[in-house]
Amino acid sequence: MAAVCQSRRALVEIPAPQPKIAARVRRSYLEILSARLAPSSLPRGRSAAANTRPVQSLDLPIGGVWTGRLEHCEKMDEHQTPLSKQQLAQLIRSLILVEQSQEPRILASDLKYLQEDLQQKKANVYRSIPYSRFGSNRDAHCYRKAYPHLVAFKVSCQEWGQVLLRNKEWDAVLEHALMAWRYTSELPQWDTVNHNALREQCYSVLAAHSLTALQHYHPEANRGRELLRRLKVAQMHSQSIVPCILELQRIMGCADQTSMDTK
């Protein structure tokens, strides 16, 4: 009996090789969203011209502010330039002003809220300093890392003090200035003397706020002695507080002289 030879059929057909995708091909977010928003196929019985609709803008309202287009954002990312010191200070000041406008006015009088704000900004300064590196962590490199947070600390001292002055809360101004003075003394000391200029600027701003408050505020005897003691302690960190000490001594001397005359 002769062997029956049957032809074997291939179980799986090998597909034709696919063309290789060119390397380093990237699609923008706008192309991906456009591909997803575009209809995959047109319904039967309708022409392509009848179904064409104008492409809607991708601008979405978030918190009452209209965001820019994605194309504009991508162009900004491509041509991004570093901000100067003046632009950075103006940006931080604008952000703090927006924060103040969103918060109720009662928060300005709440010194606990202002203390938490100063504590947070001081903590941001220390978080920005890289510690896992050789050499000093108070050099110019670390200062550049902490500089934006130092500016935010200074602007916070200045802006919140001005809010209290506009509200004519003289005692709160003195309390805020002394509290911010203590947090300023806890900021890092940098190796370069010029890098400590922001600290001295904070002292000058706080001293100016205190002097303005003392020119409109005459504390009682017990409160005046307490403020005088704290101002003398603040003098150990900077001599900018000396005019405030002299003004408070003059106020207390006039008050003592008036009380003796009435007797």
Query: 198 near 151, Cβ under 8 Å?
Result: yes
Query: What fold does the segment set 86-218 form as a domain?
Result: Methane Monooxygenase Hydroxylase; Chain G, domain 1 (1.20.58)
pLDDT at 77: 41
Question: Would you say 196 and 189 are in contact if contact means Cβ atoms under 8 Å apart?
Answer: yes
At 69-109, the pLDDT tens digits run 334 444 444 445 566 666 666 666 666 655 555 454 445 55
Of residues 191, 163, 187, the one with CA closest to residue 237: 187
Burial 192-202 (b: 16+ CB within 10 A, else e): eeebeebbebb
pTM of the model: 0.61
The answer, yes or no, to whether residue 56 has pLDDT greater than 50, is: no
Domain residue spans in the chain?
86-218
Write the pLDDT tens digit of every residue in 29-46.
556 556 655 554 444 444
Residues 228-255 have a mean pLDDT of 92
The SS3 assignment for 57 reads coil
Provide, rounded to the nearest whole percent, the portion of the chain with pLDDT above 70: 55
Looking up tokens 């500089």 gives 147
Structure tokens at 206: 């706080």
Q: How confident is the model at residue 230 (pLDDT cuts 50, 70, 90)?
A: very high
Q: What DSSP string runs through 220-237?
A: -HHHHHHHHHHHHHHTTT
DSSP 240: G
Taking the CA atoms of 118, 146, 199 and 204 in sequence, report the sign of the dihedral they define.
negative
Confidence band (pLDDT; 50, 70, 90) for 113? Answer: confident
Q: State which amino acid sits at residue 219.
A: P
136 token code pair: 């000093």
DSSP string, 106-171: HHHH-HHHHHHHHHHHHHHHHHHS--SSSS-TTSHHHHHHHHHHHHHHHHHHHHHHHHHHHTT-HH
